[in-house]
Amino acid sequence: MSENLRHALATARLQAVDIAATLAVDPKTVNRWLKGRIPYPRHRWAIADLLQVDEADLWPDIPQHRRAISKDVHAVYAHRWAVPHNIWRRLFEGGVREIGILTYSGLFLAEDTGMIHLLAARARAGAKVRILLGDPDSSEVATRGAEEGIGPDVMAARIKNALTLYRPLQEVEGVEVRLHRTVLYNSLYRADDELLVNVHAYGTPAAQAPVIHLRADEEGAAGTYLASFERIWATASHVASSAMR
C-alpha cells in the first residue's frame, strides 16, 4: 500500500481519476499504484510535479540516481496536454537570462493571462524574451493546418488570435515577437537551462504529440534544437505594431 501517495493525493484534494486524466492512463493503473506498484519513471515525475512534491517523498525506496532518463533528458510526456501546468510555469519562472518560444500559434500559452503576466515580469527582471510565431500568410502555416485536419484558414486565425493576446507584451522592454516562414518539426519552449520540445507528427495536432524535457546544454542533445531556434530567429520578420492589434 502506497500510503505516501495516498496522503499526497488527499493533501492536494485530488482523486485517482484526476491523476489518470492528467497522465492519460487507465484509472485502474492509478489504483495499482495506490496499492503499491511503482510507476514508470516518466509517470512518477509527472505525478510528483502535479502534486508539487519531491519524487523521493512519494517513493523513498527508489535510488535518486534513477530519477533522470539520461544526463540530458529529464522526462518524456506522451502528449503536450499531459504536461502539468506547473511545469510550464516553473519553466518560465526559471528564465533569468533568456526565454525562447518557437511554435506556429502556441495559443494555449497566449490564452493564459497568468502566463502573459509571467513573461512580462521575467522581461522586466532582465530576461530576454523572444517569441517566434508562424506567419499567418505563409504557405507553411497553410500546409500545417491542412496536415492537422483543421484547414489553413483556422491555423492562420489561431496565429492572429495569439498575436492579439500577446499585445500586452508589445510595450515591455526585452520582449520581441517575430514571424517565421519555416516548416517546424518541433515546437520549442526554452528558459535558460531547461527546454521543452513538443515533437510534431504528421496528421497529429501539437497538443496530442509528445513532449521531451531536456537540459538546454549546447553540447548535449538540446544543442541541435537551440541551433535551429537561432537560425529561424535570424530569418524571421519583425512583427509590425498593427499586426498585434
Which CATH number goes with the domain that contains 125?
3.30.870.10
Tell me: do 7 and 127 sit in the same domain: no
Examine residue 7 and state whether it is found in any structural domain, yes or no: yes
| Residue written as grid cell 537551440 | 226
Residue 69 lies in a domain: no
Q: Are 198 and 185 in contact (CB under 8 A)?
A: no
CB 209 within 8 A of CB 144: no
Please check whether residue 214 lies inside any domain of the structure: yes
Looking at the structure, tell me whether residues 92 and 12 fall in a common domain. no
Alpha helices in 94-238 (DSSP H): 107-110, 113-124, 139-148, 152-165, 223-235
Do 55 and 108 have their domain in common?
no
How large is the average pLDDT for residues 32-46? 87
Mean pLDDT of 192-215: 90
pLDDT of residue 220: 74
Query: Is residue 151 in some structural domain?
Result: yes
pLDDT band at 111 (very low <50, low <70, confident <90, very high): very high
| pLDDT at position 10 over 70 | yes
Closest CA to 59 of 75, 37, 74: 37
Summarised one tens digit per residue, pLDDT across range 75-106 is 888 888 888 888 899 899 999 999 999 999 99
Same-domain pairing of 112 and 153: yes
Query: 175 near 168, Cβ under 8 Å?
Result: no
**Inter-helix orientation angle 3-12/27-34, to 10°:** 120
d(CA 188, CA 197): 5
Domains identified in the chain, total number = 2
